Amino acid sequence: MFEIQSLVNFYELYGYIAVFGVLILCGFGLPVPEDISLVAGGIISGLGYTDVHLMTAIAMAGVLIGDSTVYNLGRIFGERFLRLKFVARILTPERYAVVKRRFDRHGRWVIFAARFMPGLRTPIFATAGITRFVSFPQFIAIDGFAALISVPFWVYLGYFGAHERDVLVRWITRSQFGALALVLVVVAAVLISAYVRRRIKATAGLNGNGNNGAADQPVDK
């Protein structure tokens, strides 16, 4: 677990601007867990250094600007973006191929789920831009919806747990796995529901064709 106290100390000195800047850099793969950054922002609000509601809004802005910048750089430069050294360390050719297969198999849900998967956000968002899998408005809508769930959750978790740091760290670990499990369950439920609907429509279509065929048969007299 990243040492959360180091971030708290840094944020106490520089406040909102520090949280905003770190979250933007997290979008570029800064080796600081984004979830921990959000929790640390909530902690300094709980300690009275900042307002938690304003902190949440600033954190949302930092997260979305960082994500959209990575997406747009991939969209503008295409696969040339992969040649940059800092990108190549995060998005290897093998990982790039894996993400593209995930897009083919699971569609836009991969972008939504990436918000809840530490370490995979930057590779997935960059790949979405490079491949132009979705347009920018679609990307920001999907990522923004996911961020509306995750960002307030982590910030307010830090806010309410600011004076119980040891308990908070244990909750963070559990919540990271819990959030990922919840997303996987939701995605699986949606995919299963879509599959069942298609099967029902296909079956109804076959039955309809069969009935029509029977109705068109001449009646023997």
Question: Is 191 part of any domain?
Answer: yes
The Cα–Cα gap between 17 and 59 comes to 10
The Cα–Cα gap between 96 and 17 comes to 33
- Phi/psi of residue 169, each to 5°? -60, -40
Question: Is 120 part of any domain?
Answer: yes
pTM of the model: 0.73
Handedness of CA 123, 103, 80, 137 (dihedral sign): negative
Question: Is 220 part of any domain?
Answer: no
Question: Is 102 part of any domain?
Answer: yes
Question: Is 36 part of any domain?
Answer: yes
Question: Is 147 part of any domain?
Answer: yes
Q: Please count the residues of the chain.
A: 221
Q: If we measure between CA atoms, which residue out of 92, 19, 91 comes closest to residue 57? A: 19
Contacts of 79-86 with C-beta under 8 Å, sequence gap 24+, read: 79/130, 81/126, 81/129, 81/130, 82/130, 86/28, 86/29
Residue-level pLDDT at 206: 63
Question: Is 221 part of any domain?
Answer: no
Residue-level pLDDT at 3: 72
Cα–Cα distances in angstroms (integers) from residue 1 to residues 6, 30, 36, 169, in the given order: 12, 15, 9, 8
52's enclosing H/E stretch is: helix 52-77
Question: Is 217 part of any domain?
Answer: no
167 three-state secondary structure = helix
Q: If we measure between CA atoms, which residue out of 151, 148, 149, 142 comes closest to residue 124? A: 142
Count the domains in the chain. Answer: 1
Write out pLDDT tens, residues 111-136.
998 888 877 888 999 999 999 999 99
- Structural domain harbouring 9: 4-211
Residues of the chain with pLDDT under 50: 1, 178, 182, 213-215, 219, 221
Residue-level pLDDT at 178: 47
SS3 content of the chain, % helix, strand, coil (to 5): 85, 0, 15
